[in-house]
């Protein structure tokens, strides 16, 4: 085939591109929850979506409550004995969820840096949902809006325009930023299963919570030598891991526009930061990314560690994904380096 795809990939690509032409206006929009359960639907706003979008960009103190609860529930983990297994689960879940945010929510859903099948696309959306950072479509839409207005008045989380606290967490507590901007992601809203996961973005988190607690209880009963329990795995595997994950991801919105250096001249304050690149599996090469947004690789040189890209490369060898968009030649041939 002239495209260079295998026959299986070609069929998958056709399925992804041509299916569900009717888009989200199919079965997913027919789901209407009872009045007492409408809060479980992330697309439900009592006063109307457009009214909420038009509200001023200012914090709503009630929206700080979930973040406060999340942090408070993580604290007991540090005041009780901890098993090596719990620490391992914490690190493992941080790692696979960080990868999901960087590889899938960011590089796939927001930037389409590679192609995949429709089934894999759904799995990626669910996988990323385990990070408890809302749905893939909400995430992608806001990120595309950020790139369009980076460090300008319209940027939803610019530390240059609104300060560190706002860019790190404050913007997520503003009512106007809660609706998903479906108009910015028409390529994704064509798939009702993605819209379903976006509307009910609590499902992956609920599955993770139940799995951790049940696994811990089973291990406590049948493998007591591991010295763990359902509560311990829940505290370390979900609450501690999620809090650390949240702040590391948000550091790209905040710190990577403040600390680091700029290799490329861009119309924003995006920076490359080695430390942030390590803890976020490659996202810290933020200036590289803002200059060449569609590249699947964000660490352009061998010394710019980009763990996400390395794993994506392995995925491409298996046929799970394909057509990883390369770093443009001009990124290396043009004299764009500058000292800061």
Per-residue pLDDT of the chain (340 residues; tens, 9 = 90+): 334 444 444 444 444 444 433 444 578 988 999 999 999 999 999 999 999 999 999 999 999 999 999 999 999 999 999 999 999 999 999 999 999 999 999 999 999 999 999 999 999 999 999 999 999 999 999 999 999 999 999 999 999 999 999 999 999 999 999 999 999 999 999 999 999 999 999 999 999 999 999 999 999 999 999 999 999 999 999 999 999 999 999 999 999 999 999 999 999 999 999 999 999 999 999 999 999 999 999 999 999 999 999 999 999 999 999 999 999 999 998 645 554 3
Distant-in-sequence, close-in-space partners of 286: CB < 8 Å, separation ≥ 6: 252, 256, 257, 260, 270, 271, 272, 273, 276, 298
Q: Do 327 and 300 form a contact (C-beta atoms < 8 A)?
A: yes
pLDDT at 25: 52
- This prediction has a pTM of 0.91
Distant-in-sequence, close-in-space partners of 61: CB < 8 Å, separation ≥ 6: 173
Ramachandran sector of residue 56 (left: φ over 0; alpha: ψ -120 to 50; beta: rest): beta
Question: How many C-beta neighbours within 10 Å does residue 178 have?
Answer: 19
């Amino acid at each position: 085939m002239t495209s260079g795809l295998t026959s299986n990939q070609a069929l998958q690509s056709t399925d992804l591109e041509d299916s569900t032409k009717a888009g989200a206006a199919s079965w997913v929009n027919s789901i209407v929850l009872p009045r007492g359960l409408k809060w479980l639907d992330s697309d439900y706003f009592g006063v109307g979506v457009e009214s909420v979008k038009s509200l001023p960009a200012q914090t709503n103190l009630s929206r700080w409550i979930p973040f406060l609860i999340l942090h408070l529930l993580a604290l007991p983990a540090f005041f009780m004995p901890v098993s090596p297994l719990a620490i391992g689960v914490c690190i493992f879940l941080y790692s696979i969820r960080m990868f999901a945010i960087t590889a899938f929510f960011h590089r796939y859903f927001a930037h389409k840096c590679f192609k995949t099948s429709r089934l894999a696309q759904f799995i990626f959306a669910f996988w990323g949902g385990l990070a408890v950072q809302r749905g893939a479509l909400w995430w992608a839409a806001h990120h595309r809006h950020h790139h369009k207005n980076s460090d300008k008045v319209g940027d939803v989380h610019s530390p240059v325009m609104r300060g560190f606290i706002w860019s790190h967490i404050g913007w997520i507590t503003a009512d106007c930023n809660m609706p998903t901007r479906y108009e910015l992601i028409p390529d994704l809203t064509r798939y009702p299963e993605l819209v379903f996961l976006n509307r009910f973005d609590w499902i992956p988190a609920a599955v993770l919570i139940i799995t951790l607690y049940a696994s811990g209880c089973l291990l406590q009963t049948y493998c007591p030598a591991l010295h763990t329990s359902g509560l311990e795995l829940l505290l370390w595997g979900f609450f501690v891991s999620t809090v650390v994950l949240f702040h590391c991801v948000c550091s790209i919105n905040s710190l990577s526009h403040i600390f680091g250096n700029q290799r490329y001249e861009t119309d924003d304050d995006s920076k490359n930061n080695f430390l942030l690149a390590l803890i976020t599996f490659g996202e810290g090469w933020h200036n590289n990314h803002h200059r060449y947004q569609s590249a699947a690789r964000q660490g352009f040189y061998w010394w710019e560690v980009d763990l996400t890209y390395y794993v994506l490369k392995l995925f491409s060898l298996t046929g799970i994904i394909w057509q990883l968009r390369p770093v443009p030649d001009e990124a290396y041939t043009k004299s764009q380096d500058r000292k800061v």
